[in-house]
């Protein structure tokens, strides 16, 4: 590896830790300072999971010239699942209802807000990613590694991520339209309740259905996992009504599975499409080394879009 390539690689890997700070309220015009807003409720939900004020998350470890590696991290509850995508005022105003009340799965507005928070968090992540890749590309141009006015693989990668962020923004706008009309019938929620022996996990992710296309709008699925109490965890899949047939065709086993098998299917989906999850440290400490390695390896392979083992008893994040 040349000295120039080594510097670029180090620059790219270290930039993963950079933060994109912008309040992403509906108008996108707020100039308020973005705070570390929680994508998973900090009070009721994390209360059930944390131990000594901490939870466990899967984080990408970055160091030197080495590519990022996923690892388990003990994180303080006030830092867990946060994203710098809202100012304090808008974070409070938008999500007050679900932050101050117990989740009611029969309340369409509460379910909308639960899904909307996941969408906002993903919008922030894609905008952050686009900015990071664009910055790395500009560094390549400045170092003479890519032409300024001609297509290159690095330039195309930057465009790809900008389009990805734009598609996520357009998807968010569809949620905004539901709020503006004060009618939430356009959002479908598929809800399953799991009987558990202890709360072990919470999650909030948005992922796309099917192969990525720059020419089509995002067909998205929001997955929220919410422990309601010590013995009940609710799993909520939310998607636009116009996408219902696409979602059902893509994940038919979700609608057929129950109990232990449902928890297994949900675990694999979560590890395949999202990283915004928190685990109860007490539960994590019961895992064997084999289980810990298996979950990280599965997560890493799906992150890199490599072939991965489809079935493994260790791929299970619930205690039933």
Residue 62 has pLDDT above 80, yes or no: no
63: Cα separation from own chain's centroid? 23
**Residues 273, 278, 281, 285, Cα dihedral to 10°:** 0
**Please, are residues 53 and 77 in contact by the beta-carbon 8 Å criterion?**
yes
pLDDT at 5: 43
Least confident range from 119-123, 186-190, 214-218, 251-255: namely: 214-218
Rounded CA separation 288/314 (Å): 9
**Please, are residues 270 and 277 in contact by the beta-carbon 8 Å criterion?**
yes
Q: Tell me: the pLDDT tens digits for 25-61?
A: 988 889 899 999 889 887 788 889 999 999 999 987 7
Residue 144 has pLDDT above 90, yes or no: no
Q: Read off the tokens for 239.
A: 């998607």
Rounded CA separation 74/78 (Å): 12
The residue with greater pLDDT, 113 or 2, is: 113
The helix (run of H) or strand (run of E) holding residue 215 is none
Least confident range from 42-51, 72-81, 210-219, 280-289: namely: 210-219
The highest-confidence range among 10-24, 132-146, 185-199, 299-313, by mean pLDDT, is 185-199
Tokens 């539901």, located at residue = 178
Residue 256 has pLDDT above 60, yes or no: yes
Q: What is the DSSP letter of 34?
A: E
Residue 308 has pLDDT above 80, yes or no: no
The residue with greater pLDDT, 92 or 216, is: 92
Q: Read off the tokens for 90.
A: 């808008």
What's the pTM value of the predicted model, to 2 decimals?
A: 0.87
pLDDT confidence band for 65 (50 / 70 / 90): low
Mean per-residue pLDDT for 189-199? Answer: 94
Mean per-residue pLDDT for 82-95? Answer: 92
Q: Which residues of 220-249 are buried (b: 16+ CB within 10 A; e: fewer)?
A: bbbbbbbbbeeeebbbbbbbbeebeebbee
pLDDT confidence band for 214 (50 / 70 / 90): low
**Please, are residues 39 and 121 in contact by the beta-carbon 8 Å criterion?**
yes
Rounded CA separation 35/92 (Å): 11
Rounded CA separation 283/306 (Å): 28
Mean per-residue pLDDT for 130-140? Answer: 72
Q: How far is CA 203 from CA 121, 168, 186, 271, in A?
A: 12, 19, 23, 11
How does the average pLDDT of the chain come out, rounded?
A: 84
Nearest CA-CA partner of 192 in 234, 253, 251: 234
Return phi, psi of residue 50, to 5°.
-75, 155
Mean per-residue pLDDT for 213-227? Answer: 84
């Amino acid at each position: 590896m040349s000295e120039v390539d080594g510097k670029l690689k180090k620059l790219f890997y270290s930039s993963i830790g950079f933060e994109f700070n912008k309040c992403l309220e509906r108008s996108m015009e707020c100039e308020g300072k973005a705070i570390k807003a929680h994508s998973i409720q900090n009070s009721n939900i994390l209360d059930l999971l944390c131990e000594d004020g901490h939870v466990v998350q899967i984080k990408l470890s970055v160091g030197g010239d080495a590519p990022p590696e996923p690892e388990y991290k003990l994180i303080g509850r006030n830092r867990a699942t946060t994203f710098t995508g809202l100012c304090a005022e808008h974070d409070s105003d938008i999500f007050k209802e679900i932050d101050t009340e117990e989740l009611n799965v029969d309340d369409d507005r509460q379910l909308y807000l639960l899904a909307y928070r996941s969408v906002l968090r993903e919008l922030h992540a894609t905008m952050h990613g686009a900015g990071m890749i664009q910055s790395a590309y500009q560094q390549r141009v400045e170092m003479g590694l890519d032409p300024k006015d001609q297509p290159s693989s690095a330039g195309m990668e930057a465009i790809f991520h900008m389009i990805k962020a734009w598609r996520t923004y357009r998807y968010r706008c569809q949620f905004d339209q539901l709020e503006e009309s004060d009618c939430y019938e356009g959002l479908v929620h598929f809800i399953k309740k799991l009987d558990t022996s202890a709360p072990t996990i919470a999650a909030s992710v948005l992922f796309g259905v099917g192969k990525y296309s720059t020419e089509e709008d995002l067909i998205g699925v929001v997955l929220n996992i919410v422990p309601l109490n010590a013995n009940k965890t609710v799993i909520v899949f939310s998607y636009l009504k116009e996408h219902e047939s696409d979602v059902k065709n893509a994940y038919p086993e979700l609608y057929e599975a129950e109990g232990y098998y449902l928890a297994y299917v949900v675990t694999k989906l979560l590890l395949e499409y999202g990283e915004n999850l928190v685990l109860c440290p007490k539960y994590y400490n019961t895992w064997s080394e084999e289980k810990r390695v298996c979950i990280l390896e599965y997560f890493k392979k799906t992150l890199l879009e490599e072939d991965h083992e489809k079935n493994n008893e260790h791929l299970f994040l619930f205690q039933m």
